[in-house]
Amino acid sequence: MSLIGEKVNFTKAKLPFKKNLLGQCVILEPLSVQRHAKDLFNNFSKDKKNIIWRYFSYGPFKNLYLFKRWLQSFCMNKDPFFYAIYSKKLKKYCGMASYLRITPEHGTIEVGHINYAPILQNTREGTETMFLMMKNAFSTLGNRRYEWKCHNLNNDSKRAALRLGFKFEGIFRQSNVLKGRNRDTAWFSIIDKEWKYIKTGYKKYLHKSNFDQNCNQKNKLKLN
């Protein structure tokens, strides 16, 4: 093995572009303030205790006007690149997620700013959303590495990362200050050679035969 790393047959990944990501249960649409803000705000507001905003540097928002202002200033850039999540069953936009830290010359991209309204949490739609973004990152955009990072105290996010196929890589201590408090950041990743096997597990899990008429899963997601 080379002491300076193995040679890589890689040129450059593509940047995310404005195209819907289509699934069986969800559609991921590049974010539009005009089209998505009202539905998202209404569904996020169903979390009366504002738990969904706990580990973000922004939010909660007192009214739709402030939410729209934040969307326009923070979410309409090329990095982060945001999607609104549309549930076909609920016929509502009920979540957001983005790509960020996009580095096409190295083929790395992160998924983050994942915010699911209560009606999207722990659902088939939520899992399919993550599969579609992962599939797009590897199979369409051509990335080598897909990252997930979260507050180290956010145990729900860490469990989700492991369930979705990410591998834990370590903790960046005192990585930043969040709302006046320290944040240690847990790092997870999937690399391209792992994706080849992981996608098979997702397809098996998401197949319609794995869900009953009420969309309850019969078998859990298994990726190992």
Question: What 8-state DSSP symbol labels residue 31?
Answer: -
Fold type of domain 21-210: Aminopeptidase (3.40.630)
Six token digits for residue 172: 């960046």
> Residues 144-202: pLDDT tens digits?
999 999 999 999 999 999 999 999 999 999 999 999 999 999 999 999 999 989 999 99
pLDDT tens digit sequence for 101-143: 999 999 999 999 999 999 999 999 999 999 999 999 999 999 9
CB 95 within 8 A of CB 115: yes
Listed in sequence order, the DSSP H helices in the chain are 33-44, 64-74, 124-135, 155-163, 192-206
Q: Residue 109 burial (CB < 10 Å; 0-12/13-18/19+)?
A: buried
CA dist., res. 79 & res. 75, Å (int): 8
In tens, the pLDDT along 33-88 reads 999 999 999 999 999 999 999 999 999 999 999 999 999 999 999 999 999 999 99
**What is the mean pLDDT of the segment spanning 208-220?**
88
- The pairs formed by 82-85 with CB atoms below 8 angstroms and a separation of 24 or more are 82/30, 82/31, 82/113, 83/21, 83/28, 83/29, 83/30, 83/31, 83/133, 84/28, 84/29, 84/30, 84/31, 84/32, 84/35, 84/36, 84/40, 85/26, 85/27, 85/28, 85/116, 85/120, 85/125, 85/129
Q: Which two tokens stand for residue 115?
A: 């915010």
Nearest 5 degrees, angle CA 154-CA 144-CA 80?
55
Cβ atoms of residues 96 and 37 within 8 Å: no
d(CA 125, CA 123): 5
Helix axes 33-44, 64-74, angle to 10 degrees: 130
pTM (whole model) above 0.85:
yes
Taking the domains of the chain in order of start, what are their residue ranges?
Answer: 21-210
* Contact by Cβ (8 Å): 170, 187: yes
